[in-house]
Amino acid sequence: MRTKHLACLFAALATLVTVSCKKEDKTTKFAVVDKEVTVPATPATGKIAYTLENPIDGEIVRAESESTWLHDFAAADGTITFSFDQNFEEERSSKVIVTYSTFTEIVTVKQMAADQNIATDPTELSFVGEGEALKVKVLSARNWTLTGESDWVTPDIKEGAPEAEITFTAAMNESLKERSAEFELHLFNSTNVYKLAIKQVGAKPVSLIKDPNFKAFMLAAFDKNKDGDFSADEMAASGAIEYDEDNDGSVTTFAGVELFPNITKFKYTTPYSN
């Protein structure tokens, strides 16, 4: 009988040991897989993997960062997802604090530096002689600044972000000759420089005759092919100018007459002429 009681006692102890071992196996374990995560410079979604054994009812995985370029953290099924903004500058990093119940893990998120390429679309600007406004888009992954000066073409901005547009406004070319200017785009924290070439064709000769009545008079006298402008041969032709305000209209300026170097006679009559 005593032997039977001892056997029962040993069986009970064995059961307790088994139960005790099973309780130890249910210990909660939490850890992140990688302590450092690298993401590209362009905006996208990043991931932090974690392992969780024996989760605790009511507890959830949380992640946060003090950096504003990391946001929208969410955790589910062993993965923390987050969004990150575009990096326009050098490589940067931030700490992400991951917590679960009493567990705390620190993950470093590194974001690659912005690309240092820079160009424009279009690659150069060409203005008509009368003057106009043209736009150019800066193709870069970083912020930029614009340098350069010109007395005939001006930009509306001198610094900006990637993909920003610059509007250049050119004044009228008061000469028949083509003219040019150059501006430089400098990337932030980079030695790369992009040179933007700008040119403007010479003015149309007819546009340099400012007074409308005198312009009509000169077109009638020298525009032999009637195309509304003066060719080099037409401007080189010899001839006489006899302008009478009674017949041809009042005039405020004879600007543009210098384009015709072979004028043999110039006579100007006003209503007040003797």
Q: Closest Cα partner for 75 from 108, 30, 35?
A: 30
Cα first-last separation, the chain? 159
Summarize pLDDT for 118-144 with one digit per residue, the tens. Answer: 999 999 999 999 999 999 999 998 899
Choice between 190 and 52, residue whose per-residue pLDDT is larger = 52
Tell me the H-state helices in the chain.
2-25, 212-222, 232-236, 245-248
Sign of the Cα pseudo-torsion (254, 258, 259, 262, in order): positive
Predicted local confidence at residue 192, as pLDDT = 86
Q: Tell me, what's the pLDDT at 214?
A: 97
Q: What is the per-residue pLDDT for 237?
A: 95
pLDDT recorded at residue 272 = 76
pLDDT of residue 42: 87
Percent pLDDT > 70 in the chain is 90
Q: Which pLDDT score is estimated for 274?
A: 58
Q: Is the pLDDT of residue 254 over 50?
A: yes
Lowest mean pLDDT among 143-147, 167-171, 186-190, 194-198: 186-190
Q: Which helix (H) or strand (E) holds 240?
A: strand 239-244
pLDDT tens digit sequence for 24-65: 568 999 999 999 999 999 899 999 999 999 999 999 999 999
Q: Give me the percent of the chain exceeding a pLDDT of 90.
A: 81
Provide DSSP, 120-131. Answer: EESSEEEE-TT-
pLDDT reading at 66 higher than 60: yes
Model confidence at 21: pLDDT above 80: no
pLDDT at 4 over 80: no
* Average pLDDT of the chain, as a whole number: 91
Q: Nearest-CA neighbor of 96 among 52, 69, 124, 63?
A: 63
Rounded to an integer, the average pLDDT of 103-117 is 94
Does this model's pTM top 0.75? My answer is: no
Quote the pLDDT of residue 191: 86
pLDDT digits (tens, 9 = 90+) for 211-248: 999 999 999 999 999 999 999 999 999 999 999 999 99
pLDDT score, position 79: 97
The pLDDT value recorded for residue 6 is: 47
**Domains delineated in the chain:** 26-111 (2.60.40.10), 118-200 (2.60.40.10), 205-269 (no CATH)
Assess contact for 200 and 127: CB atoms under 8 A: yes
Give yes or no for residue 17 having a pLDDT over 60. Answer: no
Residues 6+ apart with CB under 8 A from 240: 263, 264, 265, 266, 267
pLDDT of residue 189: 85
Q: Which residue has the tokens 């690309």?
A: 115
If DSSP codes are grouped into helix, strand and coil, which group holds residue 211? coil
